[in-house]
Amino acid sequence: MAAKVEFQVPALRPYPYVPDLVPDSMKGKGPFVAKPDFQTPLGFPGPLVDNWQEVAIEKMGEMLKKYRSLRVYLDVCVRCGACTDKCHYFLGTRDPKNMPVARQDLLRQVYRRYFTLAGKFFPKLVGAKDLTKDVLDDWYNYFHQCSQCRRCSVFCPYGIDTADISMAAREIMDSIGLGQKYCNEIIGKVYKIGNNLGLPEPALRNTLEGLEEDIQTDIGVPVRFPIDEEGADILLVTPSADFFAEPHIDGLIGYAKVFHQAGMSWTLSSYASEAGNFGMFIGSYENMRQISLRIRKAALDLKVKRIVFGECGHAWRVAYSFLNTLAGPFDFLDPKYPVPQHICEVTLDLIKRGALKLDKTANDHRRITFHDSCNVARGSRMGDKPGGQFFIPREVIKASCNFFYDMPADTIHDQTFCCGGGGGLLTDDLIELRVKGALPRIEALKHVVDTHSVTNMASICAICKSQFTKVLPYYGFKMDMIVSVHQLVSTAIVL
């Protein structure tokens, strides 16, 4: 007979899974390089300048002076290894250079060689290396295998921010004419047309009119999608994917229905028709500022009182953490409201005040889990309480759905796994990396599918939504398993 115990015996868990290494499994040329035409509008040279080595080292020196944090991150790593198995790209690809410490070392070895005494005189003793073409190739390849999700930083006892190091590396590469096509072409489109998609104003208006017609036909209610309406109270800034892709557009319909039922006056802007800010992905403060200033100009021109952001992960990090520094002060807005506000905050506040009529049973065909997007989870907050970025979207979901189940605790909140497509990697030329990088998240999803019959995963990030639409089928799940949080609100709301 087993001994009687006064406490609960912990359940046995599967032994922590750390994959075998496959060196160089993701060695390659990296994503497509930006043509000079995509570099010029951002203030970068192109193609690769002749004296690239000299320029790169000079740029690194400049950045070390400007950002003390970068020097600290490069100096303080003690190689404890806590980060090694925390990266979704490492777990999915098994390439040792995708261990966060190894990725950082690609930059650190060059830093040591040119900026530390020991590295200058005894390079071999301290792992310092010359900046050769091989090293540059590794930079381009492996710094485009980091989605800047910062999960590793949560576990680093010194708080080294790997995302900052990846951003710095990309900024150095841009400064020598080695930019990434995907990010830099997109930033150019924001400057030229106003959004990442390159959606011109007439097309945007046509799309919005179409949505008004659809809702009128579906439920017989004249829900509006106002654009450039001067004097509206709220400027809604949302990712342009919300005007184009699925399930994003169902989220946009949700925001409009919420504003409609609450009787709020709002508008979109054709000038600032993009919440996303790829300036952050390439580590370029100047480009991040230029993109942010468009939002300020739109708010001033339209004479709004509040700025609300739609469902976009990195946009929210830039908005919440940097907008005031980049484009402030926003003293012309109504001081009663936070600047900026997230659409989930607005919706939850309305729900709590009883201003929205929600019929949860309308979502009874769905059993939901929530994917915390990395830039929201680890790069920002939401509302006025710690952890708001975790509970606010969940409370919105729970107010709209009867069935909600979280994924395992070490894969959500600040320990959330990236979707695998963040940080400027959501491009077809990186599809292998995207599929492999999604593995840890999808394993966690499978767990709640198996244990709670979850049917859908909700998200508040345009990149996450597009990434999952693409990669879920690789793992045997349906692409429309991923939904927008405000799509759930849209289903439940009774107008």
Partner 1 sequence: MATIEIDGKTIDVDEEGYLVNLSDWTDKVAEMFAGQDNLKMTDSHLEVIKFLREYYDEYQIAPAVRVLTKAIGKKLGPEKGNSKYLYDLFPYGPAKQACRYAGLPKPTGCV
Kindly list the residues in this chain that would bind partner 1 in the complex (CB under 8 A): 32, 181-182, 185-186, 189, 195-200, 202-203, 206-207, 210-211, 214, 239-241, 243-246, 248-249, 276, 312, 426, 428-429, 462-463, 465-466, 470, 479
What's the Cα-to-Cα distance from 483 to each of 39, 219, 254, rounded to whole Å? 35, 21, 12
Say what the alpha-carbon torsion angle 132, 138, 139, 142 is, to the nearest 10 degrees.
-170
For residue 237, the minimal CB distance to partner 1 (Å) is: 14
Q: Which CB, 46 or 383, lies closer to partner 1?
A: 46
State the nearest-atom distance from the C-beta of 394 to partner 1, in Å. Answer: 23
Minimum gap (Å) between residue 435 Cβ and partner 1: 14
SS (H, E, C) 313-355: HHHHHHHHHHHHHHHCCCCCCCCCCCCCEEHHHHHHHHHHCCC
Supply the minimum distance, in Å, between the C-beta of residue 198 and partner 1.
Answer: 6
Handedness of CA 437, 96, 27, 32 (dihedral sign): positive
Task: Identify which of residues 39 and 104 has a Cβ nearer to partner 1 in the complex.
Answer: 39
Nearer to partner 1, 172 or 483 (CB): 483
* Torsion angles phi and psi, residue 124, rounded to 5: -65, -35
Q: Which is nearer to partner 1, 166 or 469 (CB)?
A: 469
> Smallest distance from the beta carbon of 290 to partner 1, in angstroms?
17
Helix (H, G, I), strand (E, B) or coil at 103: helix
For residue 47, the minimal CB distance to partner 1 (Å) is 14
Cβ 322 to partner 1 shortest distance, Å = 19
**Shortest distance, CB of residue 5 to partner 1, whole angstroms?**
52
For partner 1, give the closer residue by CB, 198 or 226: 198
The CA radius of gyration of the chain, in Å to the nearest whole number, is 23
CB 275 within 8 A of CB 298: no
Select 96 or 200, whichever has its Cβ closest to partner 1: 200
What's the token pair of residue 72? 């600290």
Rounded CA gap, 182 and 424, in Å? 7
For the stretch 241-245, contacts whose Cβ atoms lie closer than 8 Å and that sit 24 or more positions apart, written own/partner, are 241/196, 241/197, 241/462, 241/465, 241/466, 242/310, 242/311, 242/462, 243/197, 243/199, 243/204, 243/207, 243/208, 243/273, 244/197, 244/199, 244/207, 245/462, 245/465, 245/466, 245/469
Name which of 51 and 217 has its Cβ closer to partner 1. Answer: 217
Q: Is 12 exposed, middle or buried (0-12, 13-18, 19+ CB in 10 A)?
A: exposed
How many Cα atoms sit within 13 Å of 191 on the Cβ side? 19
Least distance to partner 1, CB of residue 37, Å: 12
CB of 188 to partner 1, least distance (A): 10
Q: Which is nearer to partner 1, 91 or 186 (CB)?
A: 186
Q: Pick the closer one to partner 1 by CB: 63 or 211.
A: 211
Smaller CB distance to partner 1: residue 49 or 245?
A: 245
Q: Please report the sign of the dihedral spanned by the C-alpha atoms of residue 22, residue 28, residue 34, residue 39.
A: positive
Contact 219, 257 (CB under 8 A): no
